């Protein structure tokens, strides 16, 4: 199967800004799904609301564009009644950790066999740049003009409190690594979370000193390093950590 068969190319040009990291997440997720022969016959995509939340609608398979913050509840419900299907959630940091934060905790705790790919652009992109739970402390946003006062949520740390977990971190620059993380997450029997560090060039990047998306991609290349065989990822480590 070719990955473009899994994307609704007839809907292009898509709704995202040029240079937005969401395109990379969608394309590389589609590549993994195509490589694993996952399509509308055996897989369901679920998104919440946000720029990232539009991803499920571009996949050429059964998909749900659910309510804001309810991507995980919808996904778990679908998996419960259709256990033979693969369920893949594609959503954003605001959707999954602000309004959806409570659901993240309890879905992870119940450990259903679903995969989550989070386009983590550290901002609410769609609604014009409010800080999100993953915005780094000190960052200018429209709701923190003097710099965000709060430490970002530690997704990896939360998952590590669970008896079983799968957490992977990659970036939109490290595309082959991102693909490996997504594939391993889909193969994992249980709740698997892939945290993809991504750019929102228009609503975040340009406000914090980046002129174009390629400058943010270059920053990801410099700042983040792939590590293997570790139990804990440092803040700028990319890799997979899991506990059976």
Ligand X SMILES: Cc1ncc(C[n+]2csc(CCOP(=O)(O)OP(=O)(O)O)c2C)c(N)n1
98/83 Cα distance (integer angstroms): 28
CA distance to 88, 119, 134, 139, per residue, from 122 (Å): 21, 9, 5, 10
Helix and strand counts by DSSP (H, E) for the chain: 8, 8
Looking up tokens 């799904």, which residue turns up?
33
Count of alpha carbons within 13 angstroms of residue 113, beta-carbon side: 13
Which of 3, 8, 17, 180 binds ligand SF4 (CB under 6 A)? It is 17
The binder of 68, among Mg ion, ligand X, ligand SF4, none, by C-beta within 5 to 8 A per type, is ligand X
Q: Is 125 in the site for ligand SF4 (CB under 6 A)?
A: yes
Which of these ranges, 105-113, 168-176, 194-202, 228-236, lies near ligand SF4 under the rule CB under 6 A? 194-202
Kindly tell me which of 38 and 182 has the beta carbon lying closer to ligand X: 182
Backbone phi, then psi, for 92, in 5-degree steps?
A: -110, 170
Q: Is 55 in the site for ligand SF4 (CB under 6 A)?
A: no
Those residues whose C-beta lies under 8 Å from the C-beta of residue 117, and which sit 6 or more positions away, are 25, 29, 88, 89, 90, 91, 182, 185, 194, 196
Q: Chain-centre distance of CA 39, in angstroms?
A: 19
Which of these ranges, 93-101, 164-172, 174-182, 211-219, lies near ligand X under the rule CB under 6 A? 93-101
Those residues whose C-beta lies under 8 Å from the C-beta of residue 60, and which sit 6 or more positions away, are 5, 6, 7, 8, 39, 40
Which of these ranges, 95-103, 172-180, 199-207, 220-228, lies near ligand SF4 under the rule CB under 6 A? 199-207
67 exposed, middle or buried (CB, 10 Å; 0-12, 13-18, 19+)?
Answer: middle
Backbone phi, then psi, for 177, in 5-degree steps?
A: -65, -40
Q: Is 203 in the site for ligand SF4 (CB under 6 A)?
A: yes
Structure tokens at 129: 């740049």
CB of 221 to ligand X, least distance (A): 22
Identify residues 127-146 at the interface with ligand X (CB under 6 A).
127, 132
Which of these ranges, 55-63, 109-117, 162-170, 196-204, lies near ligand SF4 under the rule CB under 6 A? 196-204
Looking up tokens 């070719």, which residue turns up?
2
Which of 123, 178, 194, 216 binds ligand X (CB under 6 A)? It is 123
Which of 32, 46, 51, 238 binds ligand SF4 (CB under 6 A)? It is 51
Q: Is 199 in the site for ligand X (CB under 6 A)?
A: no
Which of these ranges, 1-9, 116-124, 167-175, 217-225, lies near ligand X under the rule CB under 6 A? 116-124
Which of 61, 131, 202, 240 binds ligand SF4 (CB under 6 A)? It is 202
Q: How many residues touch ligand X (CB under 6 A)?
A: 19
Binding region for Mg ion (CB under 5 A): 92-94, 121
Residues in contact with ligand X by the rule CB under 6 A: 49-52, 68, 92-95, 99, 119, 121, 123-127, 132, 200
């Amino acid at each position: 199967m070719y990955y473009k068969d899994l994307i609704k190319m007839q809907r292009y040009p898509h709704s995202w800004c040029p240079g937005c990291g969401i395109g990379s997440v969608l394309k590389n997720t589609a590549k993994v799904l195509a490589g694993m022969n996952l399509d509308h016959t055996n897989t369901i995509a679920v998104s919440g609301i946000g720029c990232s939340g539009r991803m499920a609608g571009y996949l050429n398979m059964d998909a749900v564009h659910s309510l804001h913050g309810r991507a995980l509840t919808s996904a778990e419900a679908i998996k419960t009644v259709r256990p033979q299907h693969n369920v893949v959630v594609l959503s954003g940091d605001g959707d999954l950790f602000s309004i959806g934060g409570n659901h993240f905790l309890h879905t992870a705790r119940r450990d259903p066999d679903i995969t989550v790919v989070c386009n983590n652009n550290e901002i609410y992109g769609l609604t014009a740049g409010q800080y999100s739970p993953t915005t780094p402390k000190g960052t200018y946003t429209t709701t923190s003009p003097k710099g965000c006062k709060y430490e970002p949520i530690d997704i990896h740390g939360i998952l590590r409190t669970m008896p079983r977990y799968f957490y992977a971190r990659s970036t939109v620059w490290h595309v082959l690594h991102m693909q490996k993380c997504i594939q391993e997450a889909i193969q994992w029997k249980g709740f698997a979370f892939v945290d993809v560090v991504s750019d929102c060039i228009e609503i975040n990047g340009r406000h914090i000193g980046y002129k174009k998306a390629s400058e943010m991609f270059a920053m990801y290349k410099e700042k983040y390093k792939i590590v293997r065989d570790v139990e804990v990822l440092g803040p700028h480590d990319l890799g997979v950590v899991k506990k059976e």
